[in-house]
Amino acid sequence: MGFVRGGLGMASIGACGMFAAISGSNSGTTATIGSIMHPEMTKGGYDKTFAAATIAAGGTVGIIIPPSIIFIVYGFLLNLPISELFIAGMLPGLAMVVAMMFTCYLISKKNGWGHIIKWEPKRILKTGLRAYLGFFAIIIVIYGIYSGMFSPTEAAGVTVGFSLIAGLLITREIKFKNLPGILMRSGHITGMLAPLIAVSVVMQQILSLLGAGEWLGALLTGLGDPTVILLACMFMVLMAGTVLESLPNTIILAPILAPIAYVAGVDPIHFAVIFLVGDAIGFITPPYGLNLYVASGITGIPYFSIVKHVLPYLLSLSLIWLVIAFWPPLSLFLLQFAGVN
């Protein structure tokens, strides 16, 4: 996308979305993609603080775009069809990406940031073809789950097997001697997630035993107006999202707020999208915002400098969130088109 002003920034947003959709960690995406793309954006003529803010904002969209680990967790928690959650997240996720890319384009054009590279279709096609195995792995996950061929867990296993075979036998980028190290790194990632899930489940159970759900339900339903109830739920999700990772936030808060939203007349699938979009936006919402701190840590740029540049992204995402919340067809159209009631 280098032929468009702000193209490298928009490409960084897209890269964040694809990586976070698979990893399920917004802050992890910001750290991983940021360490790669921030130096490239700086060399490409972007203000270094704006580049950090762009990557922090781009890391938010991954939990919405399928295949999203957080959607799978949400579906298991509330007994909702995961394939339907994936379908419902497509258009909202695309809307978030388009909103951030448009914001990046406007700011880059206004300030003259980003070098413009000549449009070369052959080079783009050649580069894309070299990545065909990666695209095929994504197709395995999405088609396998949507067609009912695999469960999400089985799709993960099949994709890992395919990637391993491709790396060992086709591209030969993976050596047999590297397998122990790869398995150890996978174990480390799993080891980080398992305690997080365990503690979150325990916390959710404690809140349940203390009657937090009933108390909060009575408080919010007492507001009367369904619109006010939904806005109150959205505010709580946003505030929790500023300080918690998506996984514990979903495990702790979703079982409490989803029944309240249902009583207010919000479709469960629709509320799942509303919940996760709000959770994602919380990652770049001051006064905390985990992605902002991560971006500050990997770039060495002061936190409040990044906050200043992330505000346009925060505004555009907030507007999209309101559209998603109060225009259900954006989430439910594809489900209705597919004949799902």
**Total structural domains in the chain?**
1
| Contact criterion met (CB below 8 Å) for 15 and 33 | yes
CA distance 58 to 15: 8
Question: For residue 286, with 0-12 CB atoms within 10 Å meaning exposed, 13-18 middle and 19 or more buried, which class applies?
Answer: middle
State the Cα torsion 248-322-15-243 to the nearest 10°.
Answer: -30
Is 140 within the bounds of a domain? no
C-alpha 146 chain-centroid distance: 19
The two three-digit tokens of residue 92, written as one number: 């909202």
Which one has a higher pLDDT value, 27 or 237? 237
Is 131 within the bounds of a domain? no
pTM of this prediction exceeds 0.75: yes
Length of the chain: 341
Is 217 within the bounds of a domain? yes
| 271 pLDDT above the threshold of 60 | yes
Whose tokens are 């559209």? That residue is 323
Is 155 within the bounds of a domain? no
Residue 220, H or E segment: helix 212-221
The two three-digit tokens of residue 104, written as one number: 């990046």
Q: Which residues contact 177 (CB under 8 A, 6 or more apart)?
A: none
Q: Which domain holds residue 316?
A: 7-123+181-337
Is 272 within the bounds of a domain? yes
Per-residue pLDDT of 11-21, as tens digits, reads 888 888 777 66
Question: Tell me, what amino acid is at 284?
Answer: I
| 53 pLDDT above the threshold of 80 | yes
Is 253 within the bounds of a domain? yes
Is 18 within the bounds of a domain? yes
- Highest mean pLDDT, choosing among 87-96, 120-129, 213-222: 87-96
Per-residue pLDDT of 115-135, as tens digits, reads 666 666 676 677 667 777 777
Q: Averaged over 193-215, what is the pLDDT?
A: 72
